[in-house]
Amino acid sequence: MPVNASLRFIGAAGQVTGSCYLIKHNNQQILLDCGMTQGADQVREWHKFKFAFKPKDIDLVILSHAHIDHSGLLPLLVSKGFNGKIICTAGTAELLTVLLKDSVGLYLKDLEWQNRKAARSDKKQQEPVMTLADAERVSQLVQPLAYRKRMVPLPGLELEFADAGHILGSAIVQLWLKGRQAMRKLVFSGDLGNPATVLMHDPTDIGQADIVLMESTYGDRNHQALDSTIEEFATALSQAYDQGGNVFIPAFALGRSQEILYYLALLYHQGRLKQQAIFLDSPMAISITQIYNDYLHSLDKADLARIGAGPGRNLEQLLPMLKLTEKVEDSMAINRVTKGAIIIAGSGMCNGGRIVHHLKHNLWKNTNHLIFVGFQAKGTLGRRLVDGERRVKLFGQDIVVKAQVHTIGGFSAHAGQSELLAWAGAIGGQPEFYLIHGEPQAQQTLQQELAKQGIHARIPAIGDIIEL
């Protein structure tokens, strides 16, 4: 008798954000990730959103990592009745507490602003669809699982995490689905790390699988060599200083901000950093950096040695000119600094957060430099700026774009095409591959390259169901 199981593609099929997959197995329902789709008006999206299942019927959520496009719907899931277990690594569990509280807090502030605007027009007020209590409830439902430790979270289901090398706590999910006379092994890559990414270990090779859900974010290209990327970054920083302007870096609070601090520390350690002031202008990034400091012992030791990190020296202490700006008034004061500064602020795709305020005050100055160091999804302000848009509307004002815009792709924490092909090729057992978490061009190119290796991969659409 075969394994009685199916998998439904609910999110991140044909697109990068919104990772979510539903497994039905022996009358049990399991979610792999529960992520937000990013890039639109979040209040509007939250309020019209409907799950493709009944949240109260979900028995288990298995989380690959803490990024919002993989975890951001968890508070809404709880508010709609979910009361099961959430299994993730210990690093992910700590990061979730910070990320979800921040995400829900921003939603509530935006809702409050929209309600005030509606009241002035005598329009109906909107009730919140979730609260901070829902974010706190998520943390209470979390059960951490260490790498390489196997557990049985539900009858007939075994789970083990392997290091994905993407961000702190990121995991490759290995699931063994058991029937009466058969067993199938499903592997969900989560987001596979770029081996060149600092602080993280290389993604773990998987020995065998029957079904593989593999991310394909950069399935159509490779990243440039890290040394070249660092040189490109250093050149942009030097140009901004020489031209008498500031540098603005939209950075994801989780992962990318810590990497950028590392690279700045490396340039400072080498005597190549001209700027005398660096602002980490994100309360969430500051909190996450402190969590990274707590986990330094488990990060890549060779990378840490390159910047002189060791016992008693954390990421902030390696940059004496670093200023942590948690308070709003401290963030606003940065706009009085007219030159010689580096400002790292969220959000990474410029679709909210403090970076948008900085852009309003600084995009129109031709001495300033805007450096993108991460993926920009379609529909976001960041993507529009990367694509060369010369005028943008911020807070109701038309802003001309005169700042010099740089896109540095080599910092990506995602595996490039070559790494994806190598990881897939190392899996034994002739598994069925399904390409997820990628835009169509990247997926189609990767599909063709996998075929050259004798690997047949399918590209599912949202709503597709496969029998396991």
Looking at the structure, tell me whether residues 99 and 242 fall in a common domain: no
Closest CA to 179 of 160, 210, 155: 155
Most confidently predicted of 78-87, 116-125, 402-411: 78-87
When mean pLDDT is compared across 170-174, 289-293, 416-420, the lowest value belongs to: 289-293
Percent residues over pLDDT 70 in the chain = 98
Distance CA(151)–CA(399), nearest Å, equals: 54
The predicted model gives 423-439 an average pLDDT of 96
Looking at the structure, tell me whether residues 113 and 185 fall in a common domain: yes
pLDDT at 40: 59
The confidence band for 189, taking pLDDT boundaries of 50, 70 and 90, is very high
**Helix axes of 283-294 and 90-120: crossing angle, nearest 10 degrees:** 170
CATH number of the CATH domain containing 311: 3.40.50.10890
Task: Give yes or no for residue 2 having a pLDDT over 60.
Answer: no
pLDDT at 310: 66
**Cβ atoms 169, 65 nearer than 8 A:** yes
Looking at the structure, tell me whether residues 439 and 312 fall in a common domain: no
Structural domains of the chain, count: 2
DSSP state of 310: -
Backbone φ, ψ for residue 174 (5° rounding): -115, 120
Distance CA(363)–CA(390), nearest Å, equals: 10
Higher pLDDT among residues 297 and 271, named by residue = 271
Q: State the first-to-last Cα distance of the chain, in angstroms, to the nearest integer.
A: 13
Looking at the structure, tell me whether residues 202 and 336 fall in a common domain: no
Most confidently predicted of 305-314, 350-359, 418-427: 418-427
Distance CA(169)–CA(435), nearest Å, equals: 23
Looking at the structure, tell me whether residues 199 and 325 fall in a common domain: no
Q: How many residues does the chain have?
A: 468
The confidence band for 130, taking pLDDT boundaries of 50, 70 and 90, is very high
Task: Give yes or no for residue 317 having a pLDDT over 80.
Answer: no
Distance CA(296)–CA(367), nearest Å, equals: 37
Task: Give yes or no for residue 151 having a pLDDT over 80.
Answer: yes
The confidence band for 1, taking pLDDT boundaries of 50, 70 and 90, is very low
Distances (CA, A) of 67 to 10, 38, 131: 17, 11, 19
Looking at the structure, tell me whether residues 419 and 338 fall in a common domain: no
The confidence band for 32, taking pLDDT boundaries of 50, 70 and 90, is very high
Looking at the structure, tell me whether residues 89 and 180 fall in a common domain: yes
The predicted model gives 243-256 an average pLDDT of 94
Percent residues over pLDDT 90 in the chain = 79
The predicted model gives 224-236 an average pLDDT of 93
Which residues neighbour 379 within 8 Å (Cβ) at sequence distance 6 or greater? Answer: 39, 40
Residue range 335-391, pLDDT digits in tens: 999 999 999 998 899 988 899 999 999 999 999 999 999 888 788 899 999 999 999
- Residue 130: both structure tokens together: 């979730």
Distance CA(96)–CA(354), nearest Å, equals: 21
pLDDT at 162: 98
pLDDT at 17: 86
Task: Give yes or no for residue 14 having a pLDDT over 80.
Answer: yes
CATH number of the CATH domain containing 456: 3.60.15.10
Looking at the structure, tell me whether residues 59 and 70 fall in a common domain: yes
When mean pLDDT is compared across 161-165, 306-310, 328-332, 430-434, the lowest value belongs to: 306-310
Looking at the structure, tell me whether residues 350 and 214 fall in a common domain: no
Looking at the structure, tell me whether residues 133 and 186 fall in a common domain: yes
Supply the range of the domain harboring residue 186.
Answer: 5-221+413-467
Of the candidates 411, 429, 449, which is a domain's last residue?
411
Task: Give yes or no for residue 402 having a pLDDT over 50.
Answer: yes
Of the candidates 394, 411, 428, which is a domain's last residue?
411
Looking at the structure, tell me whether residues 19 and 127 fall in a common domain: yes
**Bridge partners of 277?**
341
Looking at the structure, tell me whether residues 231 and 97 fall in a common domain: no
